[in-house]
Amino acid sequence: MRRTDGLTLARWLALLVPLALMAGALGSQYIGHLVPCEMCWWQRYPHLAAIGVAALAIAVPNRMASTALVVVAALLIATSGGIGIFHAGVEYHWWPGITPCTAGIKPGQSGLDIIDMIQHGPMVRCDLAQWTLFNISLAGWNAIVSLSATLVIFGLLLFKRGDGNWARG
């Protein structure tokens, strides 16, 4: 029976994880009616890029080029996870956000300033989680899944052969 090597598994994981996370994001948007905030969109862009790079890694027959593409895809997945950590921290109010979608009313603002902010500001705030599971927001889940998958992908790339032996030296 032929075993699948680490590179093959890493390629498929680098494709399927961002596909699954994007399906979840789009499902929560279009089926669950959750409106993505600005930082939610930021997390999607690296996943979309990772899908394209991972698909290319699967299509490229050269192992060295394919491995390089998988590394790039994994780094893109990790980037989304890093943005997810930042976004979750903003949602949990561990640190302030850097976008207008986290701006609240400031002391001393006039009523006209507040009305203008409401009329021209974003409809969805980045610092309020719209949905949680086990008190973890979607941004938090993206961080957990993305960073875990990145570690697994890099671990799989350390396999030289399909017999389960780790690469040495």
What residue ranges do the domains of the chain occupy? 6-157
CA 32, CA 91: separation in Å to the nearest integer?
19
Phi, psi for 98 (deg, rounded to 5): -110, 10
**How does pLDDT run across 54-108, given as a tens digit for each residue?**
999 999 999 999 999 999 999 999 999 999 999 999 999 899 888 766 656 566 7
Give the burial class of 62: count Cβ atoms within 10 A of its Cβ; 0-12 exposed, 13-18 middle, 19 or more buried: exposed
What's CA 72's distance to the chain center, in Å?
Answer: 14
| Structure token digits, residue 104 | 């609240």
* pLDDT per position as a tens digit, 148-164: 999 999 999 986 554 55
Give the SS3 label for residue 18: helix
- What are the pLDDT digits (tens) for 137-151? 999 999 999 999 999
- CA 20 – CA 100 distance, rounded (Å): 29
Give the global pTM: 0.81
Contact (Cβ atoms closer than 8 angstroms) between residue 121 and residue 102:
no
User: Tokens for 116?
Assistant: 């203008």
What dotted CATH number matches 6-157?
1.20.1550
